[in-house]
A and B are shown apart, each in its own frame.
Chain A
Amino acid sequence: MNNRLLEVKNLQVSFNTYAGTAQAVRGVDFHLNRGENLAIVGESGCGKTVTSKAIMGLLPSPQTIIGKENSYINLEGQNLLELDDDKMAEIRGRDISMIFQDPMTSLNPTMKIGEQISESVFLHNNISKEEARKVALNMLELVRIPNAKLRMNQYPFEFSGGMRQRAMIAIALACNPKILIADEPTTALDVTIQAQIMDLISDLQKELNMGVILVTHDLGVVASVSHRIQVMYAGQIVERGTVDEIFYNPKHPYTFALLKSVPKLSSNNKETLYSLTGTPPDLINPPKGCPFAARCEFGMKICRVEEPKPMSFGDTQEASCWLHDSRADITGVPRELISRGETYGK
């Protein structure tokens, strides 16, 4: 059986704005396997949310331009970019579902929770409203909401933040989708609730054998749940690899910086944190060469002239950086960043 669920090739998304055309996603390739948890990590504005909304077909149509030449989003052999709105509506919710960062603004405040869950079940399956409600009740129990019967008839304002996110997950999973896209599902929540929600997503993924795309800016969150990570910067994927490769053997200076800028519980008090200077580039006029060059400590001349090609390290890891070219001057670059092939343990 083919294990590949989703394949994205050369995805390009730009927006028409008053200032010009902003190239939010500039040629992104990736795939997702059945039962796999893939994390997309990056700063705000790097295009991670736009990528996931493009897969869902949720981008506003007149001002968005999605490049169709040589690009596709294949869901089990079907190219989502070529589907019309009606076909896409059938797929959305049934095959691919999405949960959003802010559960309060993404739930309908005037509808009871039970109705919001059964709505999509009713639309996608040929069943009665009564049966749809039964499915909804089961879903609330699945996401571990206590007193599910009572909660069915309550409105979102009666739910706390963590409960709302659980309700969102229930809506997303109601039609048994093959893929769940979680866009910063825990950013608005407290640490304790964050841990609960992440555990829930990862348990449900195993139970239902779904593919999960987890979009986040926090590397800490993905360490325990994801299988593979891809790091995005300025609309491109700059590095990808398995969780262990990314955390213990990052090859791109941006990944390296992201990992180092988080304080560790074991680090010394008030030690100066490693920090990236500057801000991400303007995507209306993206710079020539490597987009990270202006903020990179190890930048070379070539970085500002020519874009680096992805280079592979082993079967699963890939990074786009000139430092790994054999002609690169690597004096002063930390050994862990340029060591090839060898994985150093902890």
Chain B
Amino acid sequence: MESKEVLIEVKNLKKYFKVGRKQVLKAVDNVSFNIYKGETLGLVGESGCGKTTCGKTIMGLYDATDGEVIYEGENIHSFNTQEKREFTKKAQIIFQDPYSSLNPRMTVGDIIGEGIDIHHIYKGANRKKERQEKIFELLDTVGLNKEHTSRFPHEFSGGQRQRIGIARALAINPNFIVCDEPISALDVSIQAQVVNLLIELQRERGLTYLFIAHDLSMIKHISDRVGVMYLGGLVEFTTSDELYRNPLHPYTQALLSAIPVPDPEEERVKKRIPIDGEIPSPINPPPGCKFASRCSLAIDKCKEKMPEFKEISHEHFVACHLVK
């Protein structure tokens, strides 16, 4: 385990948004974890739990309110413009919605080549040709054709657009990619294609992924380690096998039991842990454990004191008073 090299260290990261007068929305509140080189780290949670904000803050797309994101020894939030540009060469993002994340007025070639142009990857007399060849190569990698270069995004289906998004992210050879729900907008049969592509690319190029999703079965499939988020904070963090074999936090247990299993026999015998109501507003959250209002096991202590995020067994972190 010690041989794992840390690529990104997230330390007490906070991202608050001001809403209205004197109200603060704590989208990400004190989150810490490491991302190892070459692994896939999954972040799961319901919508509104802050997983996307967390990903975007790690990418530097949002300025952090407090805390650090350390990439190869340097805090990315203290970068100046020049350094930030250098950082974006190494870190890229794939967005959730393949319809709104591609500029409808640019050709596919230009969308993919934009990063190459911005960073002046190719210099010298042959740069136009090299750029063109790189675009062809990328299209081939993600399973599209050369002929697609001059087409516009509206001519493609959802799955194909997501492939264009992946090609764009790969264009400048990054080593870290944030995948922000890359498959939730796609059909089941197309999801498998995109996930297979992502896994294959990781194997070939040694990429590191931060994979954000709300689909627990897909997260389990693609991730090495998984963090479960609730209302801006991590509630459980461990390897993906351990999380599914031995979930400790009541929220994780409820989430897991809510996944519909494509197996009627299993569904009939399965006991679902009910989880009532919905995620409360992150504006002025209650003191104590944030999950207490929906937790069936909550005791008085939960409503008063925030549980500590502690390591229960090797590499298994939980924030719950009831887990000893």
Q: Does A335 contact B (CB under 8 A)?
A: no
Which residues from B are CB-within-8-Å of A346?
Answer: 263, 265
- Which of the candidate stretches A8-16, A100-108, A254-262 sits at the interface with the other chain? A254-262
Q: Does A289 contact B (CB under 8 A)?
A: no
Which residues from B are CB-within-8-Å of A274?
Answer: 192
**Nearest chain-A residue to B198 (Cβ)?**
A270
**Nearest chain-B residue to A295 (Cβ)?**
B189
Q: Does A19 contact B (CB under 8 A)?
A: no
Q: Does B222 contact A (CB under 8 A)?
A: yes
Q: Does A244 contact B (CB under 8 A)?
A: yes
| Chain B nearest CB, measured from A104 CB (Å) | 13
Interface string of A259-277 (1 = CB under 8 A from B): 1011111010111111111
Give the distance in Å from the alpha carbon of A69 to the alpha carbon of B217 in the complex: 46
Q: Does A43 contact B (CB under 8 A)?
A: yes
Which residues from A are CB-within-8-Å of B256?
Answer: 265
Given known A44-B187, A195-B272, A272-B199, contact A219–B262 (CB-CB < 8 A): yes
| Chain B nearest CB, measured from A55 CB (Å) | 23
| Chain A nearest CB, measured from B183 CB (Å) | 11
Give the distance in Å from the alpha carbon of A273 to the alpha carbon of B195 in the complex: 8
**Nearest chain-A residue to B221 (Cβ)?**
A263
Which residues of B (133-176) have their CB < 8 Å from a CB of A? Answer: 157-160
A interface, by DSSP: helix, strand, loop or mixed? loop
A193 pairs with B157, CB closer than 8 A? no
B47 pairs with A265, CB closer than 8 A? no
Q: Does B7 contact A (CB under 8 A)?
A: no
Give the distance in Å from the alpha carbon of A190 to the alpha carbon of B259 in the complex: 10
B193 partner, pick from A161, A218, A270, A275, beta carbons under 8 A = A275
Q: Does A192 contact B (CB under 8 A)?
A: yes
B264 pairs with A275, CB closer than 8 A? no
Q: Does A191 contact B (CB under 8 A)?
A: yes
Given known A191-B258, A224-B268, contact A263–B218 (CB-CB < 8 A): yes
| Chain B nearest CB, measured from A20 CB (Å) | 17
Which residues of B (196-255) have their CB < 8 Å from a CB of A? Answer: 196, 199-200, 214-218, 220-224, 240-241, 244, 254-255
Q: Does B46 contact A (CB under 8 A)?
A: yes
Which residues from A are CB-within-8-Å of B267?
Answer: 223-224
Q: Does B1 contact A (CB under 8 A)?
A: no
Q: Does B275 contact A (CB under 8 A)?
A: yes
A265 partner, pick from B159, B222, B261, beta carbons under 8 A = B261
Which residues from B are CB-within-8-Å of A224?
Answer: 260, 264, 267-268, 270
| Chain A nearest CB, measured from B116 CB (Å) | 28
A271 pairs with B221, CB closer than 8 A? yes
B220 partner, pick from A44, A261, A263, beta carbons under 8 A = A263
Most central of B157, B189, B191, B254 by chain A CB within 10 Å: B189
Which residues from A are CB-within-8-Å of B263?
Answer: 223, 247, 346
| Chain A nearest CB, measured from B278 CB (Å) | 5
B217 partner, pick from A244, A262, A272, beta carbons under 8 A = A262
Give the distance in Å from the alpha carbon of A218 to the alpha carbon of B317 in the complex: 32
B264 pairs with A261, CB closer than 8 A? no
Q: Does B61 contact A (CB under 8 A)?
A: no
| Chain B nearest CB, measured from A17 CB (Å) | 15
A218 partner, pick from B46, B199, B214, B260, beta carbons under 8 A = B260
**Nearest chain-A residue to B143 (Cβ)?**
A277
Which residues from B are CB-within-8-Å of A265?
Answer: 217, 220, 244, 256, 259, 261
Given known A190-B46, A247-B263, A275-B196, contact A264–B258 (CB-CB < 8 A): no
Most central of A247, A267, A346 by chain B CB within 10 Å: A247
| Chain A nearest CB, measured from B206 CB (Å) | 14
Interface string of A211-223 (1 = CB under 8 A from B): 0000001111101
Which residues from B are CB-within-8-Å of A44?
Answer: 158, 187
B47 partner, pick from A190, A257, A264, beta carbons under 8 A = A190
Q: Does B125 contact A (CB under 8 A)?
A: no
A243 pairs with B258, CB closer than 8 A? no
B189 pairs with A257, CB closer than 8 A? yes
A194 pairs with B258, CB closer than 8 A? yes
Which residues from A are CB-within-8-Å of B266?
Answer: 223
Q: Does A160 contact B (CB under 8 A)?
A: yes
Give the distance in Å from the alpha carbon of A267 to the alpha carbon of B217 in the complex: 10
**Nearest chain-B residue to A189 (Cβ)?**
B47
| Chain B nearest CB, measured from A269 CB (Å) | 6
| Chain A nearest CB, measured from B98 CB (Å) | 13
Which residues from B are CB-within-8-Å of A270?
Answer: 40, 199, 221-222
Give the distance in Å from the alpha carbon of A150 to the alpha carbon of B195 in the complex: 45
**Nearest chain-A residue to B202 (Cβ)?**
A270
A160 partner, pick from B216, B272, B278, beta carbons under 8 A = B278
Which residues from A are CB-within-8-Å of B241?
Answer: 269
B264 pairs with A243, CB closer than 8 A? yes
- Chosen A-B contacts, 12 in total, with CB atoms closer than 8 Å, are A43-B190, A44-B158, A191-B46, A191-B255, A192-B46, A193-B46, A220-B260, A243-B264, A247-B262, A258-B189, A259-B262, A261-B191
Interface residues of chain A, those whose CB is within 8 Å of chain B, are 43-44, 160-163, 190-195, 198-199, 217-221, 223-224, 243-244, 247-248, 257-259, 261-265, 267, 269-277, 279, 346
Other than the given A220-B260, A263-B195, A276-B192, 13 more pairs (CB < 8 A) read A44-B187, A191-B216, A193-B46, A195-B272, A220-B261, A223-B262, A224-B264, A270-B199, A270-B221, A273-B195, A273-B196, A273-B221, A279-B159
